[in-house]
């Protein structure tokens, strides 16, 4: 584990001494802010109109459902799109420059190398989610809910953030695997992006399909699996879905690195 942490520390230094991590964090923060404002302004207008006409209707408006959930849904899309650009160079660049052979001849097991790189990219994505969590926190600090309660439903926010973290874990593992298959960072990014988008939007390919095909598409859909978390529910099957892809991605990456070791 010490070797994995050393690799993670090295990768984090690379991330934050180059524009890569800062650009990803800035993009997520910017578009999260745009989504937040785009959802909050109509909500505020609707609440003001409703309070003037029908105060009881205004009290029934759900800030979490109308503002926070759309924010988390938009962040999920950006996690899927941006994760491949964080993972594309992790192994592919090492193979291209020939430094992977040096790392594998050092007293670093392939599993420690893979885990270290994975922890580094996951730390960047977790930082992005921490930035996103500031938006519902601002709503809580700026106002109150019904009967003096919190402005947002933190249970739903918490499960939503947990779902996004699981999605980030899966996306990072998938991207790391494709980075281990090629020396081209562009190919690694494109392959992982295609697979992640396919998993996200697989139900679109099943439009008009009924029966087992529709059920299979829903079972494979990351979007469908994330839906329960955004509704405040933690379903074991949904958790296992994300963890299964994460473990599979890391296992296949370790196998790919091990195979390169003996190539």
Q: What is the pLDDT of residues 88-108, one digit of tens each?
A: 988 888 888 877 777 777 677
> Which of 5-19, 129-143, 167-181 holds the top average pLDDT?
167-181
Q: pLDDT tens for residues 67-78?
A: 888 899 999 999
First to last CA, the chain: 26
pLDDT at 231 over 70: yes
pLDDT score, position 262: 66
pLDDT score, position 172: 96
pLDDT score, position 94: 82
pLDDT score, position 60: 47
Q: pLDDT tens for residues 6-63?
A: 888 999 999 999 898 999 999 999 999 999 888 776 666 555 555 555 554 444 456 7
**Residue 110: domain span:** 2-261
Between 123 and 215, the more confident residue is: 123
* Residues 114/246, Cβ–Cβ less than 8 Å: no
Provide the domain count of the chain. Answer: 1
Q: Which residues, in sequence order, are CB contacts of 118 under 8 Å at separation 6+?
A: 172, 173, 176, 250, 253
Residue 205 banded pLDDT, cuts 50, 70, 90:
low
Can you tell me which residue has the tokens 């977790």?
126
* Mean pLDDT over the full length of the chain: 84
pLDDT score, position 186: 93
pLDDT score, position 143: 61
pLDDT at 5 over 80: yes
User: How much is the average pLDDT of 232-239?
Assistant: 92
Percent of the chain at pLDDT exceeding 90: 46
pLDDT score, position 58: 46
Percent of the chain at pLDDT exceeding 70: 83
pLDDT score, position 61: 56
């Amino acid at each position: 584990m010490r070797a994995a942490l050393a690799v993670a520390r090295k990768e984090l230094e690379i991330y934050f001494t180059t524009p890569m991590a800062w650009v990803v964090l800035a993009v997520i923060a910017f578009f999260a802010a745009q989504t937040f404002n785009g959802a909050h302004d109509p909500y505020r207008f609707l609440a003001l109109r409703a309070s003037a006409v029908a105060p009881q209707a205004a009290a029934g408006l759900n800030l979490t459902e109308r503002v926070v959930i759309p924010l988390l849904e938009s962040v999920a899309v950006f996690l899927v799109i941006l994760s491949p650009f964080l993972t594309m160079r992790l192994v592919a660049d090492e193979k291209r420059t020939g430094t992977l052979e040096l790392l594998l001849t050092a007293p670093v097991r392939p599993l420690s190398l893979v885990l270290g790189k994975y922890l580094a990219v996951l730390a960047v994505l977790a930082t992005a989610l921490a930035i996103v969590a500031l938006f519902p926190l601002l709503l809580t600090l700026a106002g109150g809910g019904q009967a003096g309660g919190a402005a947002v439903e933190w249970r739903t926010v918490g499960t939503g953030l947990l779902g996004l973290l699981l999605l980030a874990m899966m996306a990072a593992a998938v991207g790391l695997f494709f980075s281990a298959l090629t020396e081209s960072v562009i190919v690694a990014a494109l392959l992982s992006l295609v697979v992640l988008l396919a998993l996200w939007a697989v139900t679109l390919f099943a439009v008009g399909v009924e029966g087992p095909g529709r059920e299979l598409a829903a079972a494979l859909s990351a979007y469908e699996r994330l839906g329960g978390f955004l509704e405040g529910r933690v379903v074991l099957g949904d958790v296992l879905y994300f963890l299964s892809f994460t473990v599979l991605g890391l296992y296949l990456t370790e196998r790919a690195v091990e195979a390169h070791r003996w190539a």
